[in-house]
Structures are given as C-alpha cells and as structure tokens.
C-alpha cells in the first residue's frame, strides 16, 4: 500500500502545472499574427494583387485627342506659317503705313508661338507634323499671290497685304470653328476659340485700315 503524498508535495506539483499553463498562454499572446502578403514580399502562400495604379497613371498622362484635333493642328501650322511669312514681307518693306506694320508685327508675335504649341501637341500625341496627301485650306495664298505681295511697294503693298490677310484670317476662323464642332482636346479647342476671337477682331481692324488708306 502506497503512502499518501505529503500535502507540501501536492501543492508544489500544482504550482508547477499552473506555471506551465501560464507560459503557454503568454506564448500564444505574444506570437505574431499570421498575415496575408499582398505585395509579394517573399512569404510562401501569399497572394499578390495586381497594381493598377501605374497603368491608370499612364492612361491619365496620355493627352486625349481625336482625328479632328490632329487635323486642326496639322493644317493650322502651315496656315500660320504663311501668315508669318506675309508679315515678314511687309516688315521688310519701306514706305508702309505704320498701322499696317504694327499689325504685321502683332500677327508675327502671336502666331509664331502658336505654331510651336501645335507642334508640341502633335509630338505629345505621337502624330506626324505634316498631313498625308493634299488638303486645301481656306485663305491660303498661292505661290503667285505671295510673289505679287513680295513685289508690291508702298500703299499698294499695304492694301494688298490687308486684302490677302483678311481672306487668310477668314480661312483660319473657319478651320477653328470646325475644331470646336468636331475636336475633343481641351487645349486645341481653347486655341481654336482664341483664334476665332483674335482674328475676327483683326479682320475688323484690317477692314477699317483699308477704308482709311
């Protein structure tokens, strides 16, 4: 027959058992919680979610435009270039009414930067600067008409310049109105609006000059 275990031994055994439980509970409390890796940091079993942010940013960065915007820039660039050429011809002449020379300077100063702006758009849109094929543009002078302006002198030159530039501006206004109807680029439509307002005002100014030369 076994002797009963002394009470002191029983108490010590109970304390040891309770201590073990406490250690196990503490280990469970302090253990790091399992996490699901969504960024592919190397944990096995992690699910990687695709990052759509870069694709969305690239889409937003690409300038929005349509074929009408492209045509507007491709046609308006040579149209503006001819207006600058006509203005340079006038500024190279002597004996021109100062009001006409000032107008030529204003046209040159305004349309030069606009040419660069439209060229920058076409580059950003990944579109060619020149159109393929032949496209007529209202108000454009023929080589013969440019030669006549170049050869003209004094008041006759001033009058011819104003007559030709009025028709030239009217063509630009018509092209700008087409852009407002069919375009989608906010920048291109903003320029079209400015062309309509500015060149209509210059048309009125040139008509007044013609009546007073």
Q: What pLDDT tens digit does each residue of the chain (213 aa) get?
A: 444 444 444 443 443 444 444 444 444 444 444 444 444 444 344 444 445 444 444 444 456 899 999 999 999 999 999 999 999 999 999 999 999 999 999 999 999 999 999 999 999 999 999 887 676 788 999 999 999 999 999 999 999 999 999 999 999 999 999 999 999 999 999 999 999 999 999 999 999 999 999
Residue 23 is predicted with a pLDDT of 40
The answer to whether 40 and 46 are in contact (CB under 8 A) is yes
Predicted TM-score (pTM) above 0.75: no
pLDDT given at position 131? 85
Contact 65, 72 (CB under 8 A): no
Distance CA 1, CA 37 (A): 62
Residue 175 near residue 73 (C-beta atoms within 8 A): no
């Amino acid at each position: 027959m076994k002797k009963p275990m002394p009470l002191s031994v029983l108490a010590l055994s109970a304390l040891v058992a309770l201590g073990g439980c406490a250690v196990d509970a503490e280990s469970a409390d302090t253990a790091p919680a399992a996490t699901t890796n969504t960024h592919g940091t190397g944990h096995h079993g992690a699910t990687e979610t695709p990052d759509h942010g870069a694709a969305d940013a690239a889409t937003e960065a690409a300038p929005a435009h349509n074929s009408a915007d492209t045509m507007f820039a491709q046609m308006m660039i040579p149209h503006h270039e001819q207006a600058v050429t006509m203005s340079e011809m006038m500024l190279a002449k002597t004996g021109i009414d100062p009001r006409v020379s000032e107008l030529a300077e204003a046209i040159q100063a305004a349309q030069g930067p606009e040419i660069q702006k439209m060229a920058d758009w076409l580059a950003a849109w990944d579109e060619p600067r020149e159109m393929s094929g032949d496209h007529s543009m209202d108000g454009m002078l023929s080589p013969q008409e440019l030669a006549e302006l170049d050869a003209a002198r004094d008041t006759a030159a001033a009058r011819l310049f104003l007559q030709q530039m009025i028709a030239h501006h009217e063509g630009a206004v018509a092209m700008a109105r087409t852009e407002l109807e069919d375009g989608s680029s906010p920048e291109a439509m903003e320029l079209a609006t400015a062309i309509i307002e500015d060149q209509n005002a210059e048309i009125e100014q040139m008509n007044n000059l013609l009546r007073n030369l």
